[in-house]
Amino acid sequence: MTQNNFNWKIGGEAGYGIMSAGAMFSRAMLRAGQFVFDYTEYPSLIRGGHNTYEVSVSPDPIFGVRRPIHILVALNRATIDYQKIELSPNAIVIFNSDNTKAEASEFAKEAVVIGIPMEKLSIDSGAERVGRNTVALGASFAACGVPFDRLKEIIELNFSLKKKDGKVAEVNIKAAKAGYEHIRQKLQNNSPFQLKIQDNPGRLLMSGNDALSWGAIKAGCNFYSGYPMTPSTSILHVFAAQAPKYSMVVKHTEDEITAICAAIGAGYTGVRSMTATSGGGFALMVEALGMAGMVEVPLVIVESMRPGPSTGMPTWTGQEDLKFVLSASQGEFPRVVVAPGDVEQSYQYIQQAFNIAEEFQTPVVVMMDKYLGSSHKWVNPKELKNEPIKRGMIVHEKDLKTDEPYLRYLDTVNGVSPRTLPGTKGGMHIANSDEHNEKSFTEEDASERARMMDKRFKKEAAIAKNLPNPELEGEKNADLTLITWGSAKGPVQEAIHVLKLEGKKVNMLQIVFISPFPTEKVQEVMKKAKKIAIVENNKTGQLAGWLREQTGLAPDYKILKYDGRPFFAHELVETIKELL
């Protein structure tokens, strides 16, 4: 029996080249015209430990990583030990016989188990031992029946991007070929996987962090200050590399406190600025977050979540920081919290984040996580939405009245006070983190204090009016409505698709703008729904709690996962069936 979709996984120690082999495989499949979604698991260290890279490949659109694994490539024994439970019964298991012993009897009867002397083949090809991952790639291509030329192209591209000389590519191609031939002969051209190979119709393969970074560049972000913290770090890398071409200033600061304060300083001058971090770094930024709210400076912050508390699991995924972000800072101020759910939304909503930050002069936090930020997904570039730039009210010298003082914190109908940028003659004021009056002077009078609080919170109402409402996706008359946010969207979509094929009616409400909360719309959906389950990657049901606070309503069920792994569609399907 043949099939046209499969899930491939490679594993080995850190330092074995698992990540680069996985990335090449993923890209080659995209270039072979397939829909691709990939996902990595690795510990927070540089050598040793256990790294895996898995790629789900399908002729149809795919929105999350899929299990079970059909092709497992084990560069060490640990890969077999850890990944055995993830295998489909008919899996092809390819292992490195130079360091690993494995018997067919360890696996299901239908499984095909093949040992390859990966290190020996690599050394024989002139690629030394480190070329074993390339041998493994060659073996993988034979196992899924993809012509060798597709791999050759990727290897050449990979080494040219790394600026290695042609000889390096040549010996690696030889090593790959050795792996390829070894498996081809063993399978005798009878791979169970028959893909419809074609040229890539222009699709891209991007992570959420890639898309978010490019969305920010698109939106005219010219200033980025940040400090490395997994899983946000690749955002810093994209900006650092692109800075000269896109006229950006990118500063790797001494800590997250400087990262956010410098971004605030830059935003104050009128430059579109942002910073990105994970929960731990965000904890350090919290005081300055409140400062941005108080001085009313535009600011975009990306908070890319990983499991906590404390150091937690740095390289794994979770959605555990929602309540933290919603209430971070002493005191109260209006803030916007937006959670893209996929790569395309990461590109789109970061652009909106800049518009909202400038139009309403308040911080916007964009919630990402390891699963969304680091997994690569196929993208149709035509579906990457471009938002027109809206800069809000900026007062220039010619607009200023000479006979009246400029009021930086003018109390207006929607709470937004037109701002002057430093350097504007006649527009001087205090960007004041102390409570202040319209003139911007420090002020502690009771009625003035209350008035300024009301002024700032008028912006919240104005922002809420400006935001798009969430929409139900899928069956209108569903037996179960799944409410979700952020990266859980993809697995939920995948699960609904599987359930639909089985005749089950389930739909989804993804909440993108979490603050200000779309209360009326969510109340309407919840009141009409037959049953509601909330799906989120945390222990306590943080969105469920927020939803209850905002709507007075509670979901019937909570589907929660907090083991550091994303939701997998097959697990969700089983859980949802029990609820139907």
Partner 1 sequence: MLTQKDYTSPYTPTWCPGCGNYSIYPATKMALAQLGIEPHQVAMAFDIGCSSNGANYWHLYSFHSIHGRSLPVAVGIKLANHDLHVIADAGDGGAFGEGMSHFVHTCRSNINITYLVHDNHLYSLTQGQASPTSMKGMKTKSTPYGIIDQSFNPLATAIINGATFVAQAFSADIPGMTEIIKQAIQHRGFAYVNILQLCPTFNKVNTLEWYKQRLYKLSEVGHDPKDYSKAVGVATQANDKLPLGIIYQVQKPIYEDGIPTLAQMPLVKRPVTSIDVSESLKSYS
Which 551-580 positions form the footprint of partner 1 (CB under 8 A)? none
Among 580, 578, 570, which residue's Cα sits nearest to residue 498? 570
Among 304, 300, 301, 321, which residue's Cα sits nearest to residue 375? 304
Residue 27 parent element (H or E): helix 18-31
Bridge partners of 114, per DSSP, are 94
Using CB under 8 A as the binding rule, the residues of this chain from 353 to 412 that contact partner 1 are 379, 381, 384, 386, 388-389, 391
Is there binding between residue 542 and partner 1 (CB under 8 A)? no
Q: What is the rounded CA–CA span in Å between residue 59 and residue 36?
A: 9
Q: How far is the CB of 219 from partner 1 (least distance, A)?
A: 7
Residue 175 or 301 having the CB closest to partner 1 = 301
Residue 255 or 549 having the CB closest to partner 1 = 255
> If binding means CB under 8 A, how many residues of this protein chain bind partner 1?
71
Q: What is the rounded CA–CA span in Å between residue 271 and residue 274?
A: 10
Is there binding between residue 151 and partner 1 (CB under 8 A)? no
Residue 194 or 386 having the CB closest to partner 1 = 386
Residue 125 or 355 having the CB closest to partner 1 = 355
Using CB under 8 A as the binding rule, the residues of this chain from 268 to 307 that contact partner 1 are 268-273, 287-288, 291, 295
Is there binding between residue 174 and partner 1 (CB under 8 A)? no
Binding mask 509-528 for partner 1 (x = CB under 8 A): --------------------
The tokens for 256 are 């997250």
Is there binding between residue 39 and partner 1 (CB under 8 A)? no
Q: How far is the CB of 136 from partner 1 (least distance, A)?
A: 24
Is there binding between residue 205 and partner 1 (CB under 8 A)? yes
Q: How far is the CB of 149 from partner 1 (least distance, A)?
A: 17
- As a whole number of Å, the end-to-end CA separation of the chain is 33
Binding piece for partner 1, criterion CB under 8 A, among 111-119, 126-134, 263-271, 560-568: 263-271
Sheet of strand 472-474, all strands in order from the earlier edge strand to the far edge: 472-474, 506-510, 480-484, 532-536, 557-560
Is there binding between residue 244 and partner 1 (CB under 8 A)? yes
Q: Which of 182, 429, 489, 504 binds partner 1 (CB under 8 A)?
A: 429
Q: What is the rounded CA–CA span in Å between residue 553 and residue 556?
A: 10
Is there binding between residue 425 and partner 1 (CB under 8 A)? yes
Q: CA quadruple 312, 316, 322, 325: dihedral positive or negative? A: positive
Q: Residue 357 in contact with residue 299, Cβ under 8 Å?
A: yes
Q: What is the rounded CA–CA span in Å between residue 42 and residue 13?
A: 9
Q: How far is the CB of 105 from partner 1 (least distance, A)?
A: 43
In one letter, which amino acid is 404? E
Q: What is the rounded CA–CA span in Å between residue 140 and residue 138?
A: 5
Q: What is the rounded CA–CA span in Å between residue 504 and residue 480?
A: 9
3-state secondary structure of 127: coil
Question: Count of residues for the chain?
Answer: 580
Is there binding between residue 185 and partner 1 (CB under 8 A)? no
Q: Which of 52, 158, 172, 258 binds partner 1 (CB under 8 A)?
A: 258
Is there binding between residue 219 and partner 1 (CB under 8 A)? yes
